[in-house]
Structures are given as structure tokens and as C-alpha cells.
């Protein structure tokens, strides 16, 4: 035993220093293992869709269906009827601008006078319908409105806005759909008897900004 002690105490002091320093380094690393939070974390993923859904039915039919596109065979000078149904899926009222986009057949343009008459009846007035031909306005890409019956030009597409404010001055006022509300309206369109033959597209949508929407449509 005495010999073991003698060997231990006879170790050079210089060799003990690195051992002590190594011990301090380990202690330093252990004391730095602190975090800047005190709990776990949670995550919420929101899948967002457009608040307003729109459907279309042939004829005067306000039924909510899954139909987003219909095809109607008609002739120049013959009227045709379809119903647009909109539903607000949001839990708040949504304001916007109901617009109609008319698209000419491939290779042809609107020049003016293609629509002879447009009749309108909605959930609040049905079965009564009114002539809104003089209340429909062509929306330019800068937001300017020109009455459809006065419009002339050369365009493959027309963005149309119905001025239902009552003053018929082409003022732009948004419409509102209440939370959960289903709103529908019936349209009867009579094309000019001399309208060019072909397949015309008539689209309905709810826009958040009328001028920006028109500019986007014309640029497509």
C-alpha cells in the first residue's frame, strides 16, 4: 500500500493540469444545455377556399346542383333562359361585384349590337322579370363603364356589370351575400337575329375588384 501511495504522489504535477482543464471543459458544455422555450409547440393548418360557390341550371330552375357548365342550342333571334345560383359558404357576409363575361366564338369578335334583349328576375321578384338591357354596362380594364347598348368596338370578350342601384348612371356599387345565404337569378337573353354563328360562352362570377377583374379577363 505504501508503495502505491508513493507512486501516486510521485506523479509529476504538470500531468495533473490537463486533467483538471478537461474536467472544466466538460462542465462548461453541460451547463450550456439550456433552451429558450418552456413548452411543446402546436400547429394549425388552414385550408382556404373561395367563399362564394356558383352553379348554373338550364331554364328557370333555382335548385342547388353540382352543375358548373351547361350547353344550350339556339338560333339568332331566339331567346334562351338559364338560372345562376350563388351560395355564401363563409360565416360572414361577403361583398363583391356580380359580373358576366361573354366570350365570342374562336376567331370572331364582338363589335356591338349582338344582344337584343336581356331579361332578369331574382329570388326577391320571381316570377316577375324586368328588362335590364339598358342597365348592363361593359367594364373596361381601367374600370370605366359604358352602357352595353351604346358600346361598339372589336373584342373577343366582354366583361358586363349590371347596375342595379336604381339610378342607372353606371355607378359601381358592390352587392352583399349574407352568411349561408343562397341567392339566385334567372336570365333570359335574346341575341340579335343577325349574330354570327358559333359557340358563345357566358360566364358568371363574383369579383372582389371590378377594374382589376376586367383587366385580368382582357389579358387572358
C-alpha torsion 121→125→129→132, nearest 10: -60
| Model confidence band, residue 33 (pLDDT cutoffs 50, 70, 90) | confident
More confident residue, 154 or 25: 154
What pLDDT, on a 0 to 100 scale, did the predictor assign at position 173?
Answer: 87
pLDDT beyond 70 at 3: no
What pLDDT, on a 0 to 100 scale, did the predictor assign at position 8?
Answer: 45
What value does the mean pLDDT take over residues 151-157? Answer: 97
What pLDDT, on a 0 to 100 scale, did the predictor assign at position 5?
Answer: 45
What value does the mean pLDDT take over residues 14-19? Answer: 51
More confident residue, 112 or 4: 112
Please provide the distance, in angstroms rounded to a whole number, between the alpha carbons at the two ends of the chain: 97
List the domain boundaries for the chain. Answer: 52-219
What value does the mean pLDDT take over residues 66-76? Answer: 95
* CA dist., res. 69 & res. 118, Å (int): 20
| Beta partners for residue 137, in sequence order | 147, 161
What value does the mean pLDDT take over residues 139-157? Answer: 95
What value does the mean pLDDT take over residues 40-46? Answer: 95
pTM of the model: 0.80
Arch. (CATH architecture) of 52-219: Sandwich (2.60)
Amino acid at each position: 500500500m505504501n508503495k502505491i501511495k508513493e507512486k501516486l504522489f510521485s506523479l509529476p504535477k504538470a500531468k495533473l493540469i490537463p486533467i483538471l482543464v478537461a474536467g472544466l471543459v466538460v462542465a462548461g458544455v453541460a451547463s450550456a444545455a439550456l433552451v429558450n422555450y418552456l413548452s411543446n409547440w402546436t400547429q394549425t393548418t388552414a385550408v382556404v377556399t373561395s367563399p362564394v360557390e356558383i352553379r348554373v341550371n338550364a331554364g328557370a330552375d333555382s335548385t342547388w346542383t353540382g352543375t358548373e357548365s351547361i350547353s344550350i342550342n339556339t338560333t339568332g333571334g331566339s331567346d334562351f333562359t338559364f338560372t345562376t345560383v350563388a351560395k355564401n359558404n363563409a360565416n360572414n357576409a361577403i361583398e363583391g361585384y356580380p359580373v358576366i363575361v361573354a366570350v365570342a366564338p374562336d376567331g370572331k369578335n364582338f363589335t356591338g349590337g349582338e344582344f337584343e334583349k336581356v331579361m332578369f328576375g331574382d329570388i326577391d321578384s320571381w316570377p316577375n322579370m324586368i328588362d335590364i338591357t339598358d342597365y348592363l354596362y361593359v367594364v373596361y380594364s381601367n374600370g370605366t363603364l359604358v352602357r352595353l347598348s351604346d358600346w361598339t368596338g372589336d373584342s373577343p370578350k366582354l366583361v358586363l356589370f349590371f347596375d342595379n342601384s336604381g339610378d342607372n348612371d353606371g355607378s359601381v356599387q358592390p352587392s352583399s351575400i349574407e352568411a349561408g345565404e343562397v341567392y339566385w337569378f334567372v336570365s333570359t337573353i335574346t341575341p340579335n337575329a343577325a349574330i354570327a354563328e358559333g359557340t358563345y360562352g357566358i360566364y358568371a362570377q363574383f369579383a372582389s375588384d371590378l377594374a382589376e377583374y376586367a383587366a385580368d379577363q382582357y389579358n387572358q
